[in-house]
Structure 1
Amino acid sequence: MAHNRPNPDDRSDNVEKLQDMVQNTIENIEKAHETMQFSSPEERANIEAKNERREEAIAAMRAEMKDEAAAREHGYQ
């Protein structure tokens, strides 16, 4: 029986991971905008709502990036 041990907390690349996530989310928003021109009004409304949630997620990821960058400057391990 394997023992499940948690992985050590490696925050060294969190800022970079978050930046990649922000970039991917921005690309998804752009792709969704392109799709909207071929969508029905109902689909368009759904896409707009999803893009609003994506914008909120980007804001949260950017705030977390600031926190991680500050933690990095203060020498977390």
Structure 2
Amino acid sequence: MENRHKPNPDDRSDNVEKLQEMIHNTIENIEEAEESMQFTDSSEQRQQIEAKNERRLESINAMRSEVKDEANANNQYE
């Protein structure tokens, strides 16, 4: 009988690159949102964009911390 539930090996070798790409994409989203604020007259929409960008910045900080952790882990195993 085949073992269909065999877990995939934990390959974390490209996590740093994936995280860096996610950071880059999030920064682009922040910039695009700030540009779009120039074209909105609604203070409510501006507040929503600002709140979302604040959450994005928090995510970036968390991802940068994770990049450091991953880089340190990769250096330990090399």
Give 1:17 deviation, angstroms: 0.3
Equivalent position of 2:33 in the other structure:
32
TM-score, length-scaled by structure 2: 0.89
Unmatched 5+ stretches in structure 2: none
Looking at structure 1, the residues matched to 71 and 46 of structure 2 have their Cα atoms a distance apart, in angstroms, of 37
Aligned AA for 1:66? K
Structure 1 residues 24-77: Cα deviation after superposition (integer angstroms, max 9, x where no partner): 00000000000001121111100000000000000000000000000000017x
| Structure with greater contact order relative to length (CA < 8 Å, sep ≥ 6) | 1
Looking at structure 1, the residues matched to 30 and 62 of structure 2 have their Cα atoms a distance apart, in angstroms, of 16
Who wins on radius of gyration, i.e. which is larger?
A: 2
Secondary structure of the 1:20 match is helix
| Residues 3, 46 of structure 1: alpha-carbon distance in 2 compared, 3 angstrom cutoff | same
Equivalent position of 2:50 in the other structure:
48
Equivalent position of 2:4 in the other structure:
3
Give 1:3 deviation, angstroms: 2.9
Equivalent position of 1:72 in the other structure:
74
* Aligned mate of 1:61, from 63, 69, 77: 63
Unmatched 5+ stretches in structure 1: none
Alignment RMSD (CA, Å): 1.5
